Chains A and B, each alone.
Chain A
Amino acid sequence: MSDAALPGAAPRTEPAPGARPVPFRGGGFRPTPRRWVGPLVFAALFAAWEAGSRMGWISPIVLPAPSEALEAFSNLARSGQLALHLQASLSRLVQGWIFGTLLGIAVGFAAGLFSLARAGIVPLVAAFFPIPKIALLPLFIIWFGIGEESKVATILFGTFFPTVIAVYGGVDGVDRGLVRMGQSFGLSRWSIVRKIILPGAMPAILSGFRISASIAIILLVAAEMIGAEYGIGAYVLLAGNLMATDQLVAGVAMLSILGLTVSWLIGRLEKRVLRWR
């Protein structure tokens, strides 16, 4: 005899009299994406700014209207100077970042894999990393001259240290169980590094890229403010000296867009390389 057949235990579908719903206490603490909010905030800010300038609440000397900055930007583009500035900046940024990153990956792997290398490299990195590399710029100018080399060297130096730290941290973070598995299948040391440690360290290396890229942009502008004819930093500096705030705002906006582009590119790279996550 099943329990349901017992008298008084008939399945009840209607709630008993006096029954009340259990109060809901869960939910929240989980932000969900709201696509339209971000652009809306930007649009509102720019609209307020533009309106403020037109009404005369914001003096054009203190802060030019967005439309004036846009005007300055299109003048720059039409005169052909934009391409020159961008080309100079991008070439410094790309050279400095790529060489700094390659060097950083090599040294970071050495520190991650070999005890001797680690014992030598880690204290050195700890000592050099906190130095603001801008402070070393005069020294680089003495060493490499006022031209491109000193600017590239500053960016290279600035990206090298965070990359070393990210890489050896990433190598340390690779699951030792996976390394032991590789050894248990008789994989060569080189195979273990290439097929287990490198991909395992990739998430940390890529987040290191984000940091080193933003450091590279900061250093780019700083380096271009000393003795550069072209480059976004030089453009911003000149605009400031001439009190041409519309050009200044246009230059700063370019830097923001440069930063966003770099971060978008790294995001794409992460999506592609870390598909397995």
Chain B
Amino acid sequence: MDLALAHVSHRYNGVEVLRDISFAAPAGRIVCLVGPSGCGKSTLLRFLGGLERPDEGQVTMTGEPPAGSLNPLTYIFQDFALLPWRSARGNISLALEDHRLSRREREEIIADVLARTGLSDFADALPRQLSGGMKQRVAIARALAVRPACLLMDEPLSALDSQTRELLLDDLQGLWERERFGAVYVTHNLAEAVRLGHQVVVLSRRPGQVREIVEIDMPLSERKARAAELEAHQTRLWELMREEAMAADQEIADV
């Protein structure tokens, strides 16, 4: 299933935040969305999953989601969005409870995603007992449980320390190798963008416009070993963004 944005513009209280954005997120590929803070990256992501409606333009999906997909467009949030009163298992179960599944099917799915994210021993832990990295793994497991066609990730690693971030990057890469899901990955961290993105969409500062779409033509599995080549991509992205980021930094927030 492919996702696409066509000529999307949006205003918040009269302030133009996004102007004429068009790009596609094809099935099975990771599209990273980078840009200075306040450029509307997260807003775009909410449009993509239907949590918010743009003033102008269209958000479309083409093709059928893979068979058995319970929630084709699934989010992973920066703040994890776990229910603090439910265990890891309960949080995953929440995403399944509104679907017609037998108790056994549900338990099988939960056991499977817990195993795939390395959480089997933490199934009954409450969020407050888990580290940030573990919480985000629970959120990833919850997302995998509904078999998404496209994962919409809103700075999923930004609330984590840099070591944990490195570990989770490896996890995400490994998961993608196996599942080949499509994804839109919003980040302000260029290292993450070049590690995971097949395509990096660079947005300008507010009002956000597509500055450039950079293709990174290197298999994900080789990226860790070919860090030097990635470095070149990252430098190029930084050059694209540098001025925008500086200008954005000096703006006075009025929204």
Q: Is the CB of B71 within 8 A of A186?
A: yes
The CA-CA distance from A167 to B46 in the complex, in Å, is: 29
Q: Which residues of A in the span 159-197 have a Cβ within 8 Å of any Cβ on B?
A: 177-178, 180-188, 191, 195-196
Q: Is the CB of A185 within 8 A of B49?
A: no
List 6 additional contacts besides A177-B77, A195-B97; criterion CB under 8 Å. A180-B51, A181-B75, A185-B142, A187-B97, A199-B85, A276-B84
B227 at the interface (CB under 8 A from A): no
A277 at the interface (CB under 8 A from B): yes
Q: Is the CB of B128 within 8 A of A276?
A: yes
Q: Is the CB of B51 within 8 A of A184?
A: yes
The CA-CA distance from A178 to B146 in the complex, in Å, is: 17
The CA-CA distance from A178 to B86 in the complex, in Å, is: 12
Interface size of B as a range: 20 to 34
B6 at the interface (CB under 8 A from A): no
Q: List 29 A-B contacts (CB under 8 A).
A: A177-B81, A178-B81, A178-B83, A180-B51, A180-B81, A181-B81, A183-B51, A184-B71, A184-B73, A184-B74, A184-B75, A185-B74, A185-B95, A185-B98, A185-B142, A185-B146, A186-B70, A186-B71, A186-B98, A187-B94, A187-B98, A195-B94, A195-B97, A196-B83, A199-B85, A276-B85, A276-B86, A276-B126, A277-B84
User: Please, which residues of chain B bring their CB within 8 A of the CB of A196?
Assistant: 83
Can you name the residue of chain A whose Cβ is closest to the Cβ of B86? A276
B72-103: CB near A (< 8 Å → 1, else 0) gives: 01110101010111100000001101100000
Q: Is the CB of B84 within 8 A of A181?
A: no
| Leading 9 A-B pairs by shortest Cβ distance | A181-B81, A276-B85, A185-B95, A184-B75, A199-B85, A177-B81, A187-B98, A186-B71, A276-B84
**SS of A interface (majority):** helix
The CA-CA distance from A186 to B98 in the complex, in Å, is: 8
Smallest distance from the beta carbon of B78 to chain A beta carbons, Å? 9
User: Please, which residues of chain A bring their CB within 8 A of the CB of B142?
Assistant: 185
Can you name the residue of chain B whose Cβ is closest to the Cβ of A181? B81
Q: Is the CB of B71 within 8 A of A185?
A: yes
User: Please, which residues of chain A bring their CB within 8 A of the CB of B74?
Assistant: 184-185
The CA-CA distance from A191 to B97 in the complex, in Å, is: 9
Smallest distance from the beta carbon of A199 to chain B beta carbons, Å? 5
Smallest distance from the beta carbon of B73 to chain A beta carbons, Å? 8
Once A180-B51, A185-B146, A186-B71 are accepted as A-B contacts, the answer to whether A191 and B81 lie under 8 Å apart by CB is no
Smallest distance from the beta carbon of A53 to chain B beta carbons, Å? 52
Residue from B73, B79, B128 within 8 A of A177 (CB atoms): B79
The CA-CA distance from A181 to B97 in the complex, in Å, is: 14
Can you name the residue of chain B whose Cβ is closest to the Cβ of A183? B51
Can you name the residue of chain B whose Cβ is closest to the Cβ of A180? B51
User: Please, which residues of chain A bring their CB within 8 A of the CB of B77?
Assistant: 177, 181
